Amino acid sequence: MLSLLDSVHDDLVALRGLGVGLHVDDFGTGYSSIALLRDLPVTGLKLDRSFVSALTADDSQANALSSGLAALARSLHLRGVAEGVETEEQADILRLHAWPQGQGYLFGRPSTDPRLP
């Protein structure tokens, strides 16, 4: 992972210089780590859908993680996007946790551009 970061860091800085926004996708799973937010010129993070699907009306670990990661993103001046929002309850909880954006079936189905092969 470190060699990958070394090899692409300058390219990412160049993209940011062009005004391109960069988000860490599926944050909280796999290779995503807090160090990426520190070490790369990212503009946002996308909360993985596995966290969103576990949100409940009750106090839960998923709720604590969602709330905490939203606060982390805000404090680092990053745009936060919650992935996999499928229900009004999830959207309400995410709003309560101050996620500024969400994506998922609740808002619209994926579509394919007919002009693409």
Question: pLDDT tens for residues 12-57?
Answer: 889 999 999 989 888 877 766 788 888 889 999 999 999 999 998 8
SS3 assignment for the chain? CHHHHHHHHHHHHHHHHCCCCCEEEEECCCCCCHHHHHHCCCCEEEECHHHHHCCCCCCCHHHHHHHHHHHHHHHCCCEEEECCCCCHHHHHHHHHCCCCEECCCCCCCCCCCCCCC
Residue 34: per-residue pLDDT: 83
Task: Indicate the pTM of the whole model.
Answer: 0.81
Residue 94: per-residue pLDDT: 97
